Amino acid sequence: MKRKGILVVVSGFSGAGKGTLLRGLLEAHREQYRLSISATTRAPRTGEEYGREYFFVSKEEFGQMIEQDALIEYACYVGNYYGTPKDYVVEQMEAGKDVILEIEIQGALKVKERFPDTLLLFVTPPTAAKLENRLRGRGTETDEVIRDRLRRAVEEAKYMDQYDYILVNDDLDVCVKEMHELIQAQHLRTSKNRALIAEIREELCCL
């Protein structure tokens, strides 16, 4: 029986280590996972490439994607729009890959509403002080943007208990392992195995 992929949402405060963790997960299990690439109206950071980190688009292009219903969800985050293109996610899940969306909270809750089997994971550093250190240490944002993102984290923390699991990113390797195990356990959920249940029931009746 062909196994469909799991849809996984990974959210967490900016600087919590989501990108770093997902790179680790994909390096360790490249065949099993696919990372959805979002569209955004944010400008690329140094080193970021179109089609690798994001599809960087204009506000007009983003508006067209909304009109054409090409996005599973979208949200505005600190002044820029971000959205998840639908076709890639659907194709990869059909092909049996577990698809990961690294998106913020408003988007995560919209995805869960649309696809109730979605696994929602929230990544947090062990302490708020470590969050600030990581965000500053990354060196990719101005002081003002860092302050905005830390303020936004206060709001995001209000929604942490709507997630299925909280992953504490202290030791990176431990956290990558925990993430992999949680996702793979999701394949065993009753709701993902309806066809198997029906088949076994039928077979039992024929014995």
Q: How far is the CB of 171 from ligand 5GP (least distance, A)?
A: 22
Contact yes or no for 18/102 (Cβ under 8 A)? yes
> Which range of residues in 25-33, 71-79, 117-125, 184-192 is near ligand 5GP by CB under 6 A?
71-79
> Smallest Cα–Cα separation from 176: which of 7, 21, 23?
21
167 near ligand ADP (CB under 6 A): no
Element (H, E) at 39: strand 38-40
> Smallest Cα–Cα separation from 12: which of 1, 24, 20, 3?
20
> Smallest Cα–Cα separation from 38: which of 19, 51, 24?
51
Give the footprint of ligand ADP on residues 102-161 (CB under 6 A): 134, 137-138
> Smallest Cα–Cα separation from 5: which of 128, 123, 70, 90?
90
Buried-exposed string 63-90: b where 16+ CB fall within 10 A, e elsewhere: eebeeeeebbbbbebeeebbbbbbeebe
Contact yes or no for 98/34 (Cβ under 8 A)? yes
**Pick from 76, 95, 166, 172: which binds ligand ADP (CB under 6 A)?**
172
> Which range of residues in 13-21, 88-96, 151-159, 181-189 is near ligand ADP by CB under 6 A?
13-21
Give the footprint of ligand 5GP on residues 151-190 (CB under 6 A): none
**Pick from 4, 29, 42, 86: which binds ligand 5GP (CB under 6 A)?**
42
4 binds, among ligand ADP, ligand 5GP, none (CB under 5 to 8 A by kind): none
- Return residues touching ligand ADP (CB under 6 A): 12, 14-20, 134, 137-138, 169, 172
- Return residues touching ligand 5GP (CB under 6 A): 14, 38, 42, 73-75, 77, 82-84, 102-104, 106-107
